[in-house]
Amino acid sequence: MTAIIGLTGGIGSGKSTVARLFGELGVHWVDADDVARQVVEPGTPALAQIHQHFGDEVITSEGELDRAALRTIVFRDPDQRGWLERLLHPLIRQELQRQLTPSDNDLPYTMLVSPLLLETDQQALVKKVVVVDVPVETQVERTMQRDNNDRSQVERIIAAQIPREERLTKADEVIDNRAPLDDVKQQVEAIHKKFLVAFGKG
Ligand code: ATP
pLDDT in tens, 62-92: 999 999 999 999 989 999 999 999 999 999 9
Q: How far is the CA of 21 from the centre of ligand 1 (A)?
A: 12
User: From the CB of 144, is ligand 1 less than 6 Å away?
Assistant: no
pLDDT > 60? residue 202? no
Q: How far is the CA of 55 from the centre of ligand 1 (A)?
A: 37
Confidence (pLDDT) at 102: 87
Residue 186 CA to residue 192 CA, distance in Å, equals 10
Instruction: Say which amino acid occupies 24.
Output: E
pTM: 0.92
User: From the CB of 12, is ligand 1 less than 6 Å away?
Assistant: yes
Give the mean model confidence (pLDDT) for residues 52-71.
Answer: 96
User: From the CB of 87, is ligand 1 less than 6 Å away?
Assistant: no
Residue environment code for 40-62, b if the CB has 16+ CB neighbours within 10 A, otherwise e: beeeeebbebbbeebeeebbeee
**Beta strand residue intervals within 36-102, DSSP E:** none
Q: How far is CA 146 from CA 5, 14, 109, in A?
A: 27, 11, 30
Confidence (pLDDT) at 133: 98
Mean pLDDT across the chain, nearest whole number?
A: 95
Report the complex ipTM. 0.98
Residue 22 CA to residue 27 CA, distance in Å, equals 5
Atom of ligand 1 nearest to the CA of 132: 6
**Do the annotations mark residue 14 as ligand-binding?**
yes
